[in-house]
Structure 1
Amino acid sequence: MSYPHHLGMTVLEAGPERTRVSLTVTPSGLNMHGSAHGGLIFSLADEAFALISNATAQAVAVETHLSFFRAARDGDQLVAVATPERVGRTLATYRVEVRRGAGGEVIALFLGTVSRREKPA
């Protein structure tokens, strides 16, 4: 079983201009304070980042940053929406907003840069 599948992630949309991945927070994803574990939120954002950055190239992360704005709770559906900020020949940077629900408030903001090269034939 893959890591995203183990966490209950679902790919809603995957393309080079926008990628959306969702999951529902469950009790196994909570931290000691009863809110969604930061690692769970990071994993959701990172999966959207991986999918979008590899849509048209072979890419590996070189830097990421995640800011937390609000807590997520048991039962919350989280949706990570990834969009490109700048895509160059060898480097690309993507923005991933983790939202509560499809159009809800932003609970975390992820920025990531990848090193990219052409996909092997």
Structure 2
Amino acid sequence: MATSARRGPYFCGIDAAMDVVAGKWKSLILWELHHHGTRRFAELRRGLPGVSEKMLIQHLREMKEDGLVHREVHREVPPKVEYSLTEHGVSLNTALTSLGKWGAERMRRIGAEKVVITDSGDK
């Protein structure tokens, strides 16, 4: 089991959870891996329009350290690296589902537009 460098102290459970999903991209990475399964780096980047390579690398490293993401390196030419959710990542994604439903209702209520992602990653 991976151990995180972040160890509190925490005010409450929400504080500890937010420490793990802080930032815009971590929850979206969880969603992408949950809905599309194992992904290579380039596939994740295409599925998350607007994320920089640097930010995606940083978040994947932190999520691996926190035990949310599994990184598998296939020793072949060219090198192949795949990312998938661990059981811990799946359980966090399950916990975030209610928040996602709340957000979808908010989008509907305020008339917010939804970004449409095509196969090429364009908006």
Judging by fraction of residues, say which structure has more strand.
Answer: 1
Judging by fraction of residues, say which structure has more helix.
Answer: 2
**Global fold match (TM > 0.5):** no
TM-score by length of 2: 0.27
TM-score by length of 1: 0.28
